[in-house]
Amino acid sequence: MNARNKVFSGVIAFALIIAMFMGGCKGGCNHPVTPPSTDTTHKQSTAGIPAFNADTAYSYIKKQVDFGPRVPDSKAHQKCLEFIVNTLKADSLTVTIQKSSAKTFDGKTFEFENVIASYQPTNSSRILLSTHWDTRPFADADSINPTGQFDGADDGGSGVGVLLEIARHLHATKLPIGVDLVFFDLEDYGQEGDDDRYPQMKDSWCLGSQYWAKNIPAGYAPEFGILLDMVGAKGAVFPKEGTSMHYASDIVNKIWTLAGNIGYSGYFTQDETGPTIDDHSYVNEIAKIPTIDIVHYDVPNHDYPYFHHRHSDKLDVIDTSTLKVVGTLLMTVIYTEHSGNTRS
């Protein structure tokens, strides 16, 4: 997740797949780790939907952490790319790597790779699931060694783990819709600062998704998209994020209602945050695909979680209970779309 004081104050005017594609509490305070309560009165059955295996998702996160910080132009970054691509191919998905280069805010130029995996790539009825797979090159929210790298177990690792576990199920099932999984690169190398005073800082983030959004194939129009960012921590809660509400409030409300219907209202709360900059910002603004962000946000403290862009974002912040909730919700979305419907 992009660190950038991502939440704007006041009201801000909001100014891919290839295959088909060619081509916070600040200061480190301690938070309770008791998971949010789960509503046990399920209004909607998940029977018939393949079970999301949180242990497998956790193993995918551990694999990434074991590589080391996945910062651009590093051996860990290259190893993680190979791991993601090989895992998706083993699941019989159509995989394309979208390569390009971009200049970061500090004047450096990096090559980057967005990974696109498609289930039923020729099906015109599609949904988009996405996350970022890189880690921020510096723990600049940390008071200790702010220029050092960090593991990024949750911020980067968790979204990848959830999507890879979902990918494991797709090839074994005949669904009436196509699914695209997009893993964005170079998301987290942006410039921190006052986005209101210096709006150019906004576009220093999410360089991989900006490129993706500008280069989607003609006619590519999934019905909606869901972005995952920091979805695996102990005690995580997911309020309704402001950019998502601006562009796709109907999808937010339906997904959150579905979460409540399967017993997850303690995680998917009715709180709302201000608008944030994340990959979905550019998917909405440039690609015009209505896309929402499922993102851990500490509403009482008006900040991201205590480990955000700090050295404490290690494997021990990850909780399989949270992974199970997010993964089961996404599996329910996939398996009920067009056959029991998450949308009206």
Q: pLDDT at residue 177 above 60?
A: yes
Predicted confidence band at 150 (pLDDT cuts at 50, 70, 90)?
very high
State the pLDDT at residue 253. Answer: 98
Tell me the average pLDDT of the chain. Answer: 87
Whether 225 is in a domain gets the answer: yes
Whether 47 is in a domain gets the answer: no
pLDDT digits (tens, 9 = 90+) for 31-83: 333 456 566 555 666 678 999 999 999 999 999 999 999 999 999 999 999 99
State the pLDDT at residue 196. Answer: 59
Q: pLDDT at residue 93 above 50?
A: yes
Task: Please give the Cα distance from 229 to 129 (Å, whole number).
Answer: 11
Whether 23 is in a domain gets the answer: no
Q: pLDDT at residue 135 above 60?
A: yes
State the pLDDT at residue 172. Answer: 82
State the pLDDT at residue 38. Answer: 60
State the pLDDT at residue 43. Answer: 67
Number of domains in the chain: 1
Q: pLDDT at residue 248 above 90?
A: yes
Most confident of 39-43, 110-114, 196-200: 110-114
pLDDT digits (tens, 9 = 90+) for 11-37: 333 333 333 333 333 233 333 334 565
Q: 265 near 44, Cβ under 8 Å?
A: no
More confident call, 30 vs 258: 258
Q: pLDDT at residue 334 above 50?
A: yes
Sole residue written with tokens 């921590």: 233
Q: pLDDT at residue 302 above 80?
A: no
Q: pLDDT at residue 289 above 90?
A: yes
Whether 330 is in a domain gets the answer: yes
Whether 36 is in a domain gets the answer: no
Instruction: State the residue range of the domain holding 83.
Output: 54-336
Whether 26 is in a domain gets the answer: no
State the pLDDT at residue 313. Answer: 98
Q: Produce one character per residue of 188-218: b if its CB has 16 or more CB atoms within 10 Å, e if not.
A: bbbbbeebeeeeebbbbbbbbbbbbbebbee
Predicted confidence band at 208 (pLDDT cuts at 50, 70, 90)?
very high
In angstroms, how far is the first alpha carbon of the chain from the final one?
31
More confident call, 319 vs 171: 319
State the pLDDT at residue 5. Answer: 44
Average pLDDT over residues 99-115: 97
- Which CATH number fits the domain that encloses residue 303? 3.40.630.10
More confident call, 339 vs 191: 191
The structure's pTM equals: 0.88
State the pLDDT at residue 166. Answer: 97
Whether 10 is in a domain gets the answer: no
Q: 273 near 240, Cβ under 8 Å?
A: yes
Whether 72 is in a domain gets the answer: yes
CA 159 to chain centre: 5
Task: Please give the Cα distance from 108 to 102 (Å, whole number).
Answer: 8
Average pLDDT over residues 273-289: 96
